[in-house]
Amino acid sequence: MIPELGHFAVILALGVALLQAIVPLLGWRRRDARLLSFAGSAAQGQFLCIAAAYACLTYCFVTKDFSVAYVAENDHSQLPLIYRITAVWGAHEGSLLLWVLILSGWTLAVSVFNRRLPLDMSALVLSVLGMVSTGFYLFILLTSSPFTRLVPAPAEGHDLNPILQDPGLAIHPPMLYMGYVGFSVAFAFAIAALITGRLDAAWARWTRPWTTTAWMFLTMGITLGSWWAYKELGWGGWWFWDPVENASFMPWLAGTALIHSLAVTEKRGLLKSWTVLLAILAFSLSLLGTFLVRSGVLVSVHAFASDPSRGTFMLAFMAVVVGGALTLFAWRAPKLITTGELQLFSREGLLLFNNLFLVIAAAAVLAGTLLPLVLDVLGITKLSVGPPYYNVVFLILIAPLFLLVGLAAVVPWKRGDWRETARRLKVPAIIAVILMVVLPFALHGRTTLLAATGALFGCWAIFAAAQDVWRRVRAKPEWRAGLRAVPRAVWGMTLAHIGLGIWALGVSGVVSFGDEKDVRLARGAETELGGYNFRFQEAGEQAGPNYTAQQGTVLVEHGGKLIATLHPQKRLYPSQGTVLTESSIDAGLMRDLYVSLGESYDDGSWSLRVYYKPMIRFIWLGGIFMFFGGLLAASDRRYRLARAAERRAIEIAEGAVA
């Protein structure tokens, strides 16, 4: 009964979404305020429907209703409760349900927070979001319903893929989807602007906090994914340029470009059509990512071709959304009049270069992700594009961004002054050059070209960003008042740019000085890595809630002192017969010590992988800085003030009419 209710709720949501897409459009054509204001109610009704459907599926998982095919495939009677709840998005059908739930959540948020937007604008935004929802509901109902029954019901479920039974992966997909899907709001604003022809500073100011919020979630989602891969996949890597990772990284690059170009459009009224195009691009890349991950095309082009219904639907949907948006763009964009002069050496000029490099970096990732698929589909050849490609091409394309990030906070809008810029950036530049030489030696005792470059770029980004806040604080007579006077948006930008610098320090540190070893150790034997002594003490059995584990004990000593006891495991999940290595990590800000178990031998010895990972935490710390930067920027009181001012203006206007 409950699964049928869930299925019915999805159908109902589809109906409401259709109305939400069509009625406001009619209202806009007829200039009918009642039809326009229907959009908000529809958004709320749609959210109720899909939340109910989602609750139904969660209920099926929690109560282990194996008569539902999707539950039988991804649930198990011994699965801990927390993973029964997260297993809802553990595979294709449930992921899509989460996708539409989040999309509907964003839609609801737009309908609540945008009440004071001009009615036609907010109604059109909701209408576009309704169209996107409609597509996804159809996709679910036609190809991927999670509520399909299985007859006869099996006595036991097939279990959630053990690799997903991890707290990191429990929160990674919702965060990522919040970001992916959040770009749909920017997309909807862009389409609404194209329809109404109103694309001005006010439009940019409405769009900015939404875009920044989506970007912030995407940043966190990617960071969490990287952290999860590091600890769960057992080989200490934090980024592999895997197509699945690229699928989330391309929208991030486009979204990063978008939040910067929105700044230009708001402050200077320039780059209007470019900003709209970027909003379309960011969401298109989100859709592409969903297609790549969800259609199965990455696992095997041929498996995809043998069951093409899902992939075909997704491709067709993408063609409609992207094609429609670009057609509208080609038709309406020429009417967007841009006034004002663009100096290349000005903040907006530098931001334009920032956009150029970010978008082309995204294009390089796109080429590297799609070319192997295309060549394989055409039967030309099978090709791999991996780190050796990206490490050359991608790094060349993003290196200039580090120069720009330092300049950006210092060079003013409209027209920059070389001499003034040099004067203000003298100190950060000197610090960065000194640290370029000193830092690798101080932290690691030696240096490499990469480590020096990373230190230069990272310190330059950090100190140039800090310099801006420092100058603002110094401008006030008293430092506390000075700190308070710095707007949140500036704090946000500064934090995000510092995060970029921290990330660069982490990457260059771990790549230059990380070390690893594969060893076979007998009981009591030891090995040395990065100045640490690893002694393999014993291995024994350990029982988990739904697995049994071989657990090793490794004592780590440094300078004759015991600093950590690690327990790497090799888990057997009997439900699927899967064996997983669970690494054990002694985490520290400056270095991680990482051990994972390999094979056991008849003589009682084990093969072990031991890693020394200096500064790897900086990589995720950078991501966390960017997240909080986004949070501060999105919550700047300027947006709230702007809303309050608009509200007053509207109230006055309405009062005048009444």
Partner 1 sequence: MPSDTNTPSSPRRRGPSFASPLHEVQNWIPAFAGMTKRLGAALLVLTLTLLAFPAAAEVETVHSPIPLNEQQEAFYKDLLPELRCLVCQNESLAESQAPLAADLRYEVRGLIAKGQNEAQIKKYLTDRYGDFVLYKPPLAPRTWVLWFGPFILLGVGLGMVFAYARRSRSASSTSAKVVVDQAALKKILDEKAP
- Name which of residues 25 to 54 contact partner 1 (CB under 8 A): 33
The distance of closest approach from Cβ of residue 269 to partner 1 in the complex, given in angstroms and rounded to an integer, is 4
Residue 251 and residue 183 in contact, taking contact as beta carbons nearer than 8 Å: yes
Which position among 4, 341, 420, 538 is part of the footprint of partner 1 (CB under 8 A)?
341
Residue 267 in the binding site for partner 1 (CB under 8 A): yes
Which is closer to partner 1, CB of 349 or CB of 501? 349
Which position among 154, 167, 323, 340 is part of the footprint of partner 1 (CB under 8 A)?
340
- Give CB contacts under 8 A, 24+ apart, made by 199-205: 199/265, 199/272, 199/276, 199/336, 200/269, 201/265, 201/266, 201/267, 201/269, 202/642, 203/121, 203/265, 204/262, 204/265, 204/266, 204/275, 205/266, 205/638, 205/639, 205/642
Q: Which stretch binds partner 1 (CB under 8 A): 160-168, 217-225, 281-289, 334-342?
A: 334-342
The distance of closest approach from Cβ of residue 342 to partner 1 in the complex, given in angstroms and rounded to an integer, is 4
Give the Cα separation of 291 and 40 in Å (integer). Answer: 29
Give the Cα separation of 610 and 593 in Å (integer). Answer: 8
For tokens 């038709």, the residue is 331
The distance of closest approach from Cβ of residue 109 to partner 1 in the complex, given in angstroms and rounded to an integer, is 21
Which is closer to partner 1, CB of 68 or CB of 192? 192
Phi, psi of 533 (to 5 degrees): -105, 125
Which position among 105, 470, 487, 526 is part of the footprint of partner 1 (CB under 8 A)?
526
- CA-to-CA separations, 167 to 55, 164, 208, 216, 628, in angstroms, rounded: 21, 8, 32, 20, 21
Which is closer to partner 1, CB of 437 or CB of 649? 649
Give the Cα separation of 106 and 122 in Å (integer). Answer: 13
Residue 576 in the binding site for partner 1 (CB under 8 A): no
The 3-class SS string of 103-136 reads HHHHHHHHHHHHHHCCHHHHHHHHHHHHHHHHHH
Closest CA to 440 of 461, 425, 427, 459: 459
Q: Which stretch binds partner 1 (CB under 8 A): 321-329, 333-341, 498-506, 583-591?
A: 333-341
- 526-529 and 515-521 as β-strands: parallel, antiparallel, unpaired? unpaired
Which position among 34, 384, 419, 445 is part of the footprint of partner 1 (CB under 8 A)?
384
Which position among 465, 519, 564, 595 is part of the footprint of partner 1 (CB under 8 A)?
519
Residue 202 in the binding site for partner 1 (CB under 8 A): yes
Q: Site residues for partner 1, window 388-407 (CB under 8 A)? A: 388-389, 393, 397
The distance of closest approach from Cβ of residue 459 to partner 1 in the complex, given in angstroms and rounded to an integer, is 26
Size of the site for partner 1 (CB under 8 A): 74
The distance of closest approach from Cβ of residue 653 to partner 1 in the complex, given in angstroms and rounded to an integer, is 4
The distance of closest approach from Cβ of residue 201 to partner 1 in the complex, given in angstroms and rounded to an integer, is 5
Give the Cα separation of 617 and 297 in Å (integer). Answer: 33
Task: Identify residue 612 by its one-letter amino acid code.
Answer: Y
Q: Which stretch binds partner 1 (CB under 8 A): 11-19, 360-368, 541-549, 557-565?
A: 360-368
Which is closer to partner 1, CB of 119 or CB of 297? 119
Q: Which stretch binds partner 1 (CB under 8 A): 171-179, 416-424, 615-623, 645-653?
A: 645-653
The token pair that represents 85 in the structure block:
């709840």
Residue 13 and residue 46 in contact, taking contact as beta carbons nearer than 8 Å: yes
Which is closer to partner 1, CB of 445 or CB of 655? 655
Which position among 191, 264, 364, 456 is part of the footprint of partner 1 (CB under 8 A)?
364
Q: What value, to the nearest 5°, has the Cα angle with vertex 509 and ends 508 and 510? A: 100
The contact pattern for partner 1, residues 469-508, with x = CB under 8 A and - = no contact, is ----------------------------------------
Residue 257 burial by Cβ neighbours in a 10 Å radius (0-12, 13-18, 19+): buried
The contact pattern for partner 1, residues 243-262, with x = CB under 8 A and - = no contact, is x-------------------
For tokens 């920017």, the residue is 186
The token pair that represents 555 in the structure block:
């004592």
Give the Cα separation of 123 and 417 in Å (integer). Answer: 44
Which position among 448, 607, 624, 638 is part of the footprint of partner 1 (CB under 8 A)?
607
